Structure 1
Amino acid sequence: MTSVSPALPAGSLPAMPVLTGRIDADRATLQRYSRSTDRLLSALPPRAARNPEHTKRATALHEARRTARHTFLTRYSTQVYDALTNGRALRPRLPDLVQRAQTHFPGVLPSPAQLAEDRGRIQAHKEGHEIDLGVFFGALLHSPAAGTHLIDTMLQPAPGSLGHLDWLRRHDLLELDTVRVERLGRAMHITFQNRHCLNAEDNKLIADMETAVDLTLLDERVSVGVMRGGVVDHPRYEGRRVFSAGINLKALRNGEISYLDFLLGRELGYVNKLMHGLMPTESGWRAPSAVHKPWVAAVDSFAIGGGMQLLLAADRVLAEEGALFSLPAANEGIVPGLGNLRLPRLTGGRIARQILLSGRALRAGEPDAELLCDKVVHADRLTDAVDQAVAELSSPAVAANRAMLSLAEEPREALRSYLAEFAVVQAERIYSADVLDRIERRWARP
């Protein structure tokens, strides 16, 4: 598991707590240690007003406390998770787990007030308490028992999804804030409608997409899910469809991209459901226990960042001629979700490195792009190609075979191990100096 280690202290630091092996005693010790670091941090100016010595001091305090939390969770992660889930009888989602941990294990996580205060700041001015959430979830996911249970929990329908199902069954159309969900025959068409930002992903789109994916998998009339970008408002692409521009960097700069709801919740939520299906609340004897359906992705204009990540979980990828595929996360300074896990299976390691480490982009119609795209057609024929793909994938045997393919390609243990590292690394990256500098410079451009 990725760990954190303390920076060189600027001034005295509280003595690192020594664990006894008794969880109740060690929980109390960690709580006292966290309170002591809180007092020292509160004596410093806000992050935006700190001089270099203040910054050095705050960094040392944060990293020392994260080390203490990491040490506690490394020893007790399964016990902590069992306490929060009543011996895994309950299935709280990520925000609920955080709230339960704040109540039952104070000191293991930032307080609700600390997290709320950070939410009101731009990214560069936040204290960075979300990194501690990464330490927490990294430890839980690193535990085979806790991590597997958490992954299965996040594969269940999101709160609110079931409430839309009756409406969709009656009307075959549901308009969410950023997504349109429409049943056409055996297919559920999910259309991204974040028009103002080239269908880029933000917190709201992530929530709407999980609802849309849930409904597709829950509706027994539907055999195939289709993802496509809607028409956008951007002057350069006005009147044209765009698949996705990836993460909304303006929202990231403004501190509006949530670690829980977006950066981790996206991967454990709707994207993972695309790959591994929907886990019913009551599982019977049949295997696989999750509900699987094949997915078609139709790419107009481009699939950048998170948009391209969706293609790696799709069963049929169609694109208009010249459509761009790109995973620029290395240039942005962050990790492209599960792209590092899934891309090499499709492209091989060498091309994956060129895309992930050097920012290489591919265009539909190029030889190497055939590894990502099943069919390239003229823009006017893309809808027809979607209809044909739906007809080919509607057989019941397709769903069964894609479930087995997903199991073979991405075993649960490999997924859990990757997510355990990702949970920590991504939290650190969104607060790293190079990322903050890059998004501030982008913001300052005329």
Structure 2
Amino acid sequence: MNKVLLEKDGNVAIITINNPKALNALSTEVLEDLDAAVNDVKNDDDIYAVIVTGAGDKSFVAGADIAEMKDKNVEEAAKYGAFGNKVFREIETLNKPVIAAVNGFALGGGNELAMSCDIRLAADNAVFGQPEVGLGITPGFGGTQRLARLIPVGLAKEIIYTARNIKAPKALEIGLVNAVYPHEELMPAALKMAKGIAKNAPKAVAASKKAINDGLNETIDEGIQTEVEQFSGCFATEDQKYGMDCFLNKVKDKQFKNK
């Protein structure tokens, strides 16, 4: 992987888009490397939480690679969009929670990448937007679908139709991000949150993620049934027995085994 870095800090994986000269733009090479990193994390039983961020101080991901996209025909654009969506869906449905540490520009594909993560934390210099209509296209990596699910539909339409960017405080106000930090505090905050998540039973966290994600596309009755299935499935794990024994015996320093 030349354009994506994968590091580990205990049970936390840190995926860094490493294309700073292009403001971490999502070229096909970057997407392929991101796909490989996500699959590495998926198959690593020692990783319980993931952080995605961008290299440098200016940009999380400034968007897709316009120079690469410019001359595509309809079929090539469809293939490119399908691959980007595949990678982002892998992140969205990953069996581990993913935190986006948005350290600058998150435009177009960058905002779409952030939205595919479970939680978004932003630096105070972060800027969000979907500028695609100003380039003669629509969002292509899930922007029209996720943005309207995360914030009020009218606001999502305004952001997409006007192609105007919003700064971190506004993103926090409308619920696009969970919190805003001074730039130098962003990664420590993301790592603290990821390590806090990683202290809990990994299979229970994964089951909770699946129940939430699946339930959003179901009726309330279907969603409750999904929750019951995920809840009851936890009782087949060693971590459930261990966690409840720790509670009953007042053991505070738990060490779950992801089993």
**What range is the shorter-chain TM-score in?**
0.7 to 0.9
| Alpha-carbon distance between aligned partners in 1 of 2:11 and 2:113, rounded to the nearest angstrom | 21
Identity %: 26
| Alpha-carbon distance between aligned partners in 1 of 2:50 and 2:173, rounded to the nearest angstrom | 23
Aligned ranges 1:28-39 → 2 under 5 Å: none
The Cα shift of 1:258 comes to 4.5
- Deviation sequence 1:301-328 (CA, Å, 0-9, x none): 2100011011222112111113100111
Q: Which residue of 2 is the match for residue 400 of structure 1?
A: 207
| Alpha-carbon distance between aligned partners in 2 of 1:227 and 1:253, rounded to the nearest angstrom | 27
Q: 1:381 to 1:250 in 2, by over 3 A?
A: same
Q: Say yes or no: does 1:265 pair with 2:68.
A: no
Aligned ranges 1:105-120 → 2 under 5 Å: none
| Alpha-carbon distance between aligned partners in 2 of 1:249 and 1:321, rounded to the nearest angstrom | 26
Q: Which residue of 2 is the match for residue 350 of structure 1?
A: 154
SS in 2 for 1:243: strand
Larger radius of gyration: 1
Amino acid at match of 2:81: L
Aligned length: 213
Q: Which residue of 2 is the match for residue 339 of structure 1?
A: 143
SS in 2 for 1:226: strand
CA RMSD of aligned residues (A): 2.0
SS in 1 for 2:62: coil
More strand by share: 2
Do the aligned partners of 1:330 and 1:356 also contact (CA within 8 Å) in 2?
Answer: yes
| Alpha-carbon distance between aligned partners in 2 of 1:367 and 1:178, rounded to the nearest angstrom | 28
Q: 1:221 to 1:368 in 2, by over 3 A?
A: closer
Q: Which residue of 1 is the match for residue 250 of structure 2?
A: none
TM-score, normalised relative to structure 2: 0.77
- Deviation sequence 1:178-213 (CA, Å, 0-9, x none): 111111111111111112211001111111111011
Q: 1:187 to 1:370 in 2, by over 3 A?
A: farther
Segments of structure 1 that go 5 or more residues without pairing to the other structure are 1-175, 232-239, 278-291, 412-446
| Alpha-carbon distance between aligned partners in 1 of 2:124 and 2:110, rounded to the nearest angstrom | 17
Q: Say yes or no: does 1:202 pair with 2:27.
A: yes
* Runs of 4 or more above 3 Å deviation: 254-261, 367-370
| Alpha-carbon distance between aligned partners in 2 of 1:182 and 1:261, rounded to the nearest angstrom | 30
- Deviation sequence 1:281-312 (CA, Å, 0-9, x none): xxxxxxxxxxx110010011210001101122
Amino acid at match of 2:216: E
- Deviation sequence 1:382-437 (CA, Å, 0-9, x none): 121111110232222222111111112246xxxxxxxxxxxxxxxxxxxxxxxxxx
| Alpha-carbon distance between aligned partners in 1 of 2:171 and 2:66, rounded to the nearest angstrom | 31
| Alpha-carbon distance between aligned partners in 2 of 1:254 and 1:193, rounded to the nearest angstrom | 25
The match for 1:360 among 164, 168, 178 is 164
TM-score, normalised relative to structure 1: 0.45
